Structure 1
Amino acid sequence: MMQKIRHTSVAPTRTQRLASGGEIDAHRHDDHQIAYASKGAIAVTTDAGSWVAPATRAIWIPAGTVHRHQAHGELDLHLVGLPATDNPLGLDKPAVLAVSPLLRELIVAYTHDPDNDSPPHLRLRAVMLDQLTISPEQPLHLPVPTDPLLRELHDVLCGDPADNRSLDDLGRQIGASARTLSRRLRDDLGLTYPQWRTQVRLHHALLLLADDVPVTAVAHRCGWSSASTFINVFRRAFGHTPGTRPTA
């Protein structure tokens, strides 16, 4: 559980820079918030898991959610606060959203001058909200299991995403059979072990890429047999190759 939780009634709208590894500590606010990194990757962590977003994605944080931010790579962070009554996608849990080139520019422009109440700025906000309503949710959530055995397995995999041992071997380490672990994974997370391990690996791959680790090294450190295999898995998950970056 997170400690020393700050409560900020109004979710701020602003642009700020964070060094790689920089954090915004655990807090909550009464508004919704969108966190978008136009440079680097932002990770948002709650008790339910972690959401990570490179510069083609944004993270939706519902009102009241206790969360913290962490920067991976040099981060240009854009935060958009929205009243609890403004929920374009009707989401009540954190989610990662696709960011189109247009939405990217709208967020960057809107957070550049957050205190501007001029009619053009308000129209910009309205278009931004319209674009959010058509932003599909993306599978970039790494859930944290509630089951104690699965939490042990989670710690092993996150400690070394390249660990290629079978579920039988991992089960012997933590004192459970592969059948038991498989059943609990289905009950707790709705995933098979290979599906969950792939999510762990993709999550870590995004963070390494944000720190400019070469694609081949990322593939090796996250357990893929070759860079080409990693690229294919990454493309299927995210719709683009690992080296793709948005235009400035």
Structure 2
Amino acid sequence: MDGLPLDRLPTHRHDGPMLSWSETATVTFHSGRRSWIVPPGHGMWVPGGAPHGVEVLRAGLGSALLFDPARRVPDWREPTAFVVSPLVRALVRHLSELDGPVGAARERAEAVLFDVLRPADALTIPLPMPADARLRGIAERLLADPGDGRELAHWAVEVGAGVRTIGRLFVAETGMTFGRWRTHARIRAAVPMLAEGVPVGTVSRRVGFRKAAAFTDAFRRVTRRLPSSLSGERP
């Protein structure tokens, strides 16, 4: 499916493994409770049967290849990000042009592709959703308005519970304190805007940071990257 415009894809699965890569698009790849940001020049390997979906952050082109589940493939048990080197790109395009899913030429090309694929350090932003109805209500409102600066004490009063109770529940159900969870929600909300080229200072204010420097520090802590790596701005 080389050269097709990427679109939003709901969660689905394939019998066999799939390789997809982004040529000019930036997308969020979802599988289970995990998400990966896939910028141009990167891709995802998806084992057969793994549920996955795609959300477009910046429209563009990409490719996807499905493989025979009986074929010998990389032993990656979960979705794995990889960098698309020039050789990987050439092999993917070559496989896209071959007629039919079988044949000696395809087997040779697949063998070389699988030999040169290497996992990469992907941009991931963990954001587990709490199950408790009170916490989930808070989480959903913060996702809808990441710039909301109200602290946990306010939310506790609003849902009719003690601050300590809500604080303990957040840690128990998400593995994060309320403050850390909110920071992750803000960083995740910032990614689509950065991918669209919105200036870092503007994005930082929209997601609730008073100073761009504080936003940059938080973004780097969560993603191990600078926001300018997505926006195209110079750091």
Letter in 1 for 2:113: R
Q: Compute the TM-score of the two structures, normalised by the length of structure 1.
A: 0.73
Provide the residue aligned with 1:143 in structure 2: 128
2: CA distance, partners of 1:47 / 1:149? 23
Residue 202 (str. 1) matches residue 190 (str. 2): no
2: CA distance, partners of 1:45 / 1:200? 15
Would the aligned equivalents of 1:41 and 1:54 in 2 still touch at CA under 8 Å?
yes
Letter in 1 for 2:12: H
Provide the residue aligned with 1:113 in structure 2: 94
Structure 1: gaps of 5 or more residues: 1-12
Would the aligned equivalents of 2:21 and 2:62 in 1 still touch at CA under 8 Å?
yes
- Cα offsets for 1:189-230 (capped at 9, x unmatched): 211112111111111111111122111111111111211221
Q: What SS does structure 2 have at the residue aligned with 1:142? A: coil
Provide the residue aligned with 2:178 in structure 1: 193
Provide the residue aligned with 1:90 in structure 2: 77
**Bigger mean CA offset, 215-224 vs 137-146:** 137-146
1: CA distance, partners of 2:73 / 2:132? 35
Residue 23 (str. 1) matches residue 11 (str. 2): no
Letter in 2 for 1:227: A
Would the aligned equivalents of 2:95 and 2:106 in 1 still touch at CA under 8 Å?
no
2: CA distance, partners of 1:188 / 1:80? 37
2: CA distance, partners of 1:180 / 1:33? 44
Superposed CA RMSD in Å reads 3.1
2: CA distance, partners of 1:119 / 1:49? 32
Please identify which structure carries the higher strand content.
Answer: 1
Structure 2: gaps of 5 or more residues: 99-104
Q: What SS does structure 1 have at the residue aligned with 2:127? A: strand
2: CA distance, partners of 1:246 / 1:188? 33
**Bigger mean CA offset, 147-156 vs 213-222:** 147-156
Offset of 1:38 from its aligned partner? Answer: 3.5
Provide the residue aligned with 1:234 in structure 2: 219
Offset of 1:185 from its aligned partner? Answer: 1.9
Would the aligned equivalents of 1:15 and 1:112 in 2 still touch at CA under 8 Å?
no
Q: What SS does structure 1 have at the residue aligned with 2:59? A: strand
Provide the residue aligned with 1:4 in structure 2: none
Provide the residue aligned with 1:7 in structure 2: none
Offset of 1:46 from its aligned partner? Answer: 5.2
Residue 164 (str. 1) matches residue 145 (str. 2): no
The one of 111, 115, 123 aligned to 1:127? 115
Q: 1:194 to 1:61 in 2, by over 3 A?
A: farther
Larger radius of gyration: 2
Offset of 1:14 from its aligned partner? Answer: 4.3
* Aligned-residue identity in percent: 24
Offset of 1:118 from its aligned partner? Answer: 5.3
Q: Compute the TM-score of the two structures, normalised by the length of structure 2.
A: 0.77
2: CA distance, partners of 1:223 / 1:149? 22
**Bigger mean CA offset, 137-146 vs 176-185:** 137-146
2: CA distance, partners of 1:146 / 1:83? 38
Letter in 2 for 1:42: V
Offset of 1:186 from its aligned partner? Answer: 1.7
Offset of 1:151 from its aligned partner? Answer: 1.8
Residue 77 (str. 1) matches residue 62 (str. 2): yes
Q: What SS does structure 2 have at the residue aligned with 1:72? A: strand
Q: 1:57 to 1:141 in 2, by over 3 A?
A: farther
Matched pairs, number:
223
Provide the residue aligned with 1:6 in structure 2: none
Greater than 6 Å deviation, 4+ residue runs? none
Provide the residue aligned with 1:221 in structure 2: 206
Q: 1:26 to 1:230 in 2, by over 3 A?
A: same
